[in-house]
Amino acid sequence: MADAGYFYFNVFVFGILFGWALLSYDTLSRSIADLLTNAFGAMPPAPWPVFVSRSIITVMLFLAYELGYWFNHYLSHRIPFLWEFHKVHHSATVLTPLTNFRVHPIYMCIFINILAASMGFANGLGDYLLGQPASQYGLSETNIILVFFIYFYVHLQHSQLWISFTGWLGHLLMSPAHHQIHHSRNPVHFNKNLGSCLALWDWMFGTLYIPAADRELLEFGVEPDREHAHTIRGELIAPFVRAALVLKERFEKPAAPVMHPAPEQERIFIERA
């Protein structure tokens, strides 16, 4: 029921925020292309057919989307202030396709602007290297590669279906089982599998956990029994209060050395957050 409420709420809010992100995407893309032109001179137009240039920019933007997704997800798990808002998504104790919409508006705002920055940079770089602007192949203005992954299996990541990619494929693609591992309450799985469609960035940055071929026994959720869990008060308003307390505590205490937490410490962090 809570996931259904988030679905209707975020469909409306996302439309507004996505408009802001598109503006920053276009501005950054033009700025990057102009900056590179001023620094290194204009590049001659690529001598390839149009479909080659469009294919190149389509792949570049897909990789940039995946990198932006991973980076935003990494920050949301590692920075306590951001975790308070992302924790809303992890509060789901049962995964369904609607869980994808179980996100706090603050998390969503940060997410789409990080995407706009990463994709705007990639588009500006691509336009410069190609010597002229090139548009990606898309469906309803969405990258066609991303659309393929979404319709093929990404919508199953928040489900009870155990579809696992192992071996070399598990190092490249994020299967539904990969993401179910990400939602696991087992400390071994904390902060793993942060990508969307690709496991590539997780593999490169050391956050990849390849699931077993056979179903692993998993439990989902974070503090499922806390007061007002799964309510508007608990999932939309309370994160502001908890995030403010995190900032208050941070500025009241001297800065501690930044260390990579051990799994046991991660469990403590999750349970206290």
Q: What is the pLDDT of residues 3-46, one digit of tens each?
A: 544 444 455 555 555 555 666 888 899 999 999 999 999 999 99
User: Do 87 and 222 touch, CB atoms closer than 8 A?
Assistant: yes
Is 112's pLDDT higher than 60? yes
- Percent of the chain at pLDDT exceeding 70: 80
In this structure, is the dihedral angle defined by the CA atoms of residues 124, 130, 134 and 139, taken in order, positive or negative? negative
What is the average pLDDT score of the chain? 85
User: Do 72 and 119 touch, CB atoms closer than 8 A?
Assistant: no
pLDDT tens column, 218-252: 999 886 556 666 677 777 888 999 999 999 888 88
Total-model pTM: 0.85
User: How far apart are the C-alpha atoms of 83 and 242, rounded to whole Å?
Assistant: 10
Confidence of residue 255 (pLDDT cuts 50, 70, 90): low
Three-state DSSP class for 72?
Answer: helix
